[in-house]
Chains A and B, each alone.
Chain A
Amino acid sequence: MYGFGGTVLRINLETGQVRRSPTPESFAREWLGARGFVAKTIYDEVPRDADPLGPENLFIIAPGVLTGSFAPCGSKLGFGCISPLTNGHADSNMGGHLGPEIKYAGYDMIVFERISPKPVYLFVDDDTIELRPAEQYWGMGSLDLEARMKKDLGEDFQIATIGPAGENGVAFACITHDFGRQAGRCGVGAVMGSKRLKAIAVRGTKSLPVHDLPGLTKHTYDIIQRTKPHPNMEPWQKYGTALFVSWANEHGCFPSRNFQTTVHEGWEGISGEKLAEEVLVTHKACFGCWMNCGKYSRARIPGKPDTYLEGPEYETIALCGGSCGMTDIHHVAYANYLCDNLGLDTMSGGNITGFAMECYERGIITKKDLEGHELRWGNIDDFENFLRMIAARRGIGELFSHGTRAAARKLGQGTIAFAEQAKGMEFSGYDTRWYSAQLLSYCTADIGAHHNRSWAITADIELGQDTPVGKAPVVIYLQHIRPLFDTWCCCRLFWGELDVTPEEHVDAVRYLTGWDITIEECMRASEKIWNLTRAHYLERNGGPGRKHDVAPLRQLEEKIPNGPAEGKKVGTENFNYMLDDYYVNRGWDKDGNPTREVLELLGIGYAADNLEKRGLLGKPVPGGIPKVRGQKLKPKAM
């Protein structure tokens, strides 16, 4: 088989047994890798009542078909399991260099089963697979451990680690690699930690089998030369994702102080330009990427040692920065470093800390709860104390370690009204009160509130920010095309920013594998995965689907108090309109349950059977489901 490493590994952490089997080509063709491999395997094998931090959950690592393949930015690696935040499917992917290394060692998926009796790390050196003791590493920070393992094993090894937060089962713990790339969302670090798996170290020295190497080489070489002078190249190379901070503030979607408002006073101090001026050390690229959007930085704060980190990205600036009231890029960079080394998602971590800061502001939590400390907006020391309490699950840190929704439910006192999350996972860095398509995107996303599924901000601008009309079909299209990149497992920024088309990515798959595959087939696979994980979510969490596709009250009914989006809110009626439209366009019933018709059309009729057994199957749609689910955005007439 071309394009793949060739082997699936299954590792029983309880017994230490390692089983190898050839990657079936039919499986590879149907599910394409990464997100697809994970979704199917978890659906088939994890019991519906499995505890996410228990022995029956699987922890899976899988590169995708394009990983390591000389395709544009073929860098990415998928991680998946059942999420401790949402109790649904977790899909988190990571750039850097580990994904290609796993492929070059010959592997397409590594499935970890059960729980190790003692801390271990996985050592892979081509065909050598060992579970090595990691007791000596337990308790170490993620970044600190990677530095140590690079020294111990050699620079040739690619390393991914969890920090103390993952070891302690913090529900939004992440996995860190390459000194600052993360599988950040969904709490995949907690699941890795629940299995007492502290790190993964891989060296792969084999060649990737390619069906048509001259064709693939010319294809990507031409794209390289074509995109070098692209207008977006230079700003991206210089600022990375942080270049979005100014627009978000100027157009009222930047979260300030736990999303209390959407223009942040002092945002200029945490902008992309400030990053480049004050903290930038090196531009840093993922494997095979010539846009090098990664920014490696150094934070300098009087009284603290200098800290080095990759970032801060837009999301960290939004959530650790704006949402926690910060105005100093050094503080945001330091907050980024803390999260990385403790092993916490900067996005959920920033969001939860902002939520806790609002709770403190309102007197719902007090100094007594915080071991005598305060939790003031913009105060980096307060931020650090709080984060460390969460990572250790100490005192009130234990409450917040389960995520914003769980914390709000336990605190009561109306706090759920300002918990910015969906399905238990915290909003990423966009306030949606003037961007209703983005709210719909967050609340219907399979993994909880994450924009990587659908970034619909410009769709809102094109279609009209004050209307709910026409948003749903566009969100559905985005929910198919964007996670397709998480399935091929390459970065979507070449498509999103440099005009490399989805068809060109499919061409790369064709050259690589020899498959006669089309973009239509890939989009259908992506829609299939979407529906499979929806069905899985309902089986685990009960139905109907509509009861889970819920928006935070602040986004629905609390008007933005100032700034460019003053007075805006989405409105419950508008949200329900969009949700109704969404279900119709998805081929689901009005309660948000997938129908047999759409599941069978996508080739997963077994999912319909399983839903039906539990009384969760969607009722047939009168007149049938739409022929095409999802619509690409048509820009406003010019």
Chain B
Amino acid sequence: MVIYLRSGGKLRDRLQPDVDQYTRRVEVEGTPTLREILTSMDIPHALVAFGFSQGTVRRLDYRPTEGEVVTLQPPVAGG
């Protein structure tokens, strides 16, 4: 199935967007977790704090559904 991952900043460079400036189209086999998808793309898990879709935080064991757009939120400098 196809899902879409979005990110900004340095994480975007690793994502290599191809749909628009933030978004990468990803084809996956089965229904992998976000963690498994990141591993397959060689993106270190530690650089992703969580996923975010439909206004909800998604932990890295979340399994995206067909066509879902998931933002990858990097760890941030809390204040």
Binding site for B on A (CB under 8 A): 229-232, 234-236, 238-239, 241-244, 246-248, 251, 272-273, 293, 313-315, 318, 429, 451-452, 455, 457-458, 461, 492-493, 496-499, 635-636, 638
A631 to chain B, nearest CB (A): 15
Give the residues in chain B near A457, CB-CB below 8 Å.
75, 77
The docked-state distance in angstroms from the alpha carbon of A318 to that of B78 is: 10
A427 to chain B, nearest CB (A): 13
Contact A241 B76 (CB under 8 A): yes
Give the residues in chain A near B72, CB-CB below 8 Å.
231
Contact B49 A246 (CB under 8 A): yes
The docked-state distance in angstroms from the alpha carbon of A231 to that of B13 is: 14
Contact B10 A635 (CB under 8 A): yes
Contacts known (A243-B49, A635-B13, A638-B14); A231 close to B8, Cβ less than 8 A: yes
Interface assignment of B62: CB less than 8 Å from any CB of chain A: no
Give the residues in chain A near B57, CB-CB below 8 Å.
235, 239, 243, 246, 272-273
Q: Mark B56-70, 1 if CB is under 8 A from A, else 0.
A: 010100000000000
B64 to chain A, nearest CB (A): 15
The docked-state distance in angstroms from the alpha carbon of A445 to that of B13 is: 30
Q: 18 interchain pairs (CB within 8 A)?
A: A231-B8, A231-B73, A232-B9, A234-B52, A239-B57, A241-B79, A242-B78, A243-B73, A244-B49, A246-B49, A246-B50, A247-B75, A314-B78, A315-B78, A493-B77, A635-B14, A638-B14, A638-B42
Give the residues in chain B near A236, CB-CB below 8 Å.
76
The docked-state distance in angstroms from the alpha carbon of A516 to that of B75 is: 35
- Secondary structure at the A interface, as helix, strand, loop or mixed, is helix
Contacts known (A246-B50, A251-B46); A231 close to B6, Cβ less than 8 A: yes
Q: Which of A230, A429, A452: most chain B Cβ within 10 A?
A: A230
Contact A235 B52 (CB under 8 A): yes
Contact A241 B78 (CB under 8 A): yes
Interface assignment of B47: CB less than 8 Å from any CB of chain A: yes
Contact B78 A244 (CB under 8 A): yes
Considering the complex, give the chain A residue whose CB is closest to the CB of B50. Answer: A246
Give the residues in chain B near A238, CB-CB below 8 Å.
55
Within 8 A of A (CB), among B9-48: 9-10, 12-14, 22, 42, 44, 46-47
A630 to chain B, nearest CB (A): 18
Q: Which of B42, B46, B78: most chain A Cβ within 10 A?
A: B78
Contact A234 B71 (CB under 8 A): yes
Contacts known (A244-B76, A457-B75, A635-B13); A230 close to B22, Cβ less than 8 A: yes
- Chain B interface size range: 20 to 34
Other-chain residue from B9, B47, B79 in contact with A314 (beta carbon distance below 8 A): B79
Contacts known (A232-B8, A246-B50); A251 close to B55, Cβ less than 8 A: no
Interface contact tally, CB-CB below 8 A: 94
The docked-state distance in angstroms from the alpha carbon of A238 to that of B57 is: 10
The docked-state distance in angstroms from the alpha carbon of A461 to that of B47 is: 8
Q: Which of B47, B50, B75: most chain A Cβ within 10 A?
A: B75
Contact B7 A231 (CB under 8 A): yes
Other-chain residue from A230, A248, A272, A314 in contact with B8 (beta carbon distance below 8 A): A230
Other-chain residue from A243, A293, A458 in contact with B47 (beta carbon distance below 8 A): A458
Q: Which of A230, A231, A314: most chain B Cβ within 10 A?
A: A231
A274 to chain B, nearest CB (A): 11
Q: A244-B75, A452-B79 are in contact. List 9 more A-B contacts (CB 8 A).
A: A232-B8, A232-B73, A236-B76, A246-B57, A247-B50, A248-B78, A458-B47, A493-B77, A496-B76
A553 to chain B, nearest CB (A): 25
Give the residues in chain A near B9, CB-CB below 8 Å.
232, 497, 499
Contact A451 B46 (CB under 8 A): no
Give the residues in chain A near B76, CB-CB below 8 Å.
232, 236, 241, 243-244, 496-497
Q: Which of B14, B47, B57, B77: most chain A Cβ within 10 A?
A: B77
Contact B79 A313 (CB under 8 A): yes
Contact A235 B75 (CB under 8 A): no
The docked-state distance in angstroms from the alpha carbon of A543 to that of B3 is: 58
Considering the complex, give the chain A residue whose CB is closest to the CB of B51. Answer: A235
Give the residues in chain B near A638, CB-CB below 8 Å.
13-14, 42
Other-chain residue from A235, A251, A273, A461 in contact with B73 (beta carbon distance below 8 A): A235
Q: Which of A241, A247, A451, A497: most chain B Cβ within 10 A?
A: A247
Give the residues in chain A near B7, CB-CB below 8 Å.
231
Give the residues in chain B near A493, CB-CB below 8 Å.
77, 79
Contacts known (A246-B49, A461-B44); A251 close to B75, Cβ less than 8 A: yes
Contact B77 A451 (CB under 8 A): yes
Give the residues in chain B near A232, CB-CB below 8 Å.
8-9, 71, 73-74, 76
The docked-state distance in angstroms from the alpha carbon of A247 to that of B47 is: 9
The docked-state distance in angstroms from the alpha carbon of A272 to that of B79 is: 13
Considering the complex, give the chain B residue whose CB is closest to the CB of A635. Answer: B10
B37 to chain A, nearest CB (A): 16
The docked-state distance in angstroms from the alpha carbon of A47 to that of B35 is: 57
The docked-state distance in angstroms from the alpha carbon of A268 to that of B77 is: 19
The docked-state distance in angstroms from the alpha carbon of A458 to that of B78 is: 13
Contact B71 A231 (CB under 8 A): yes
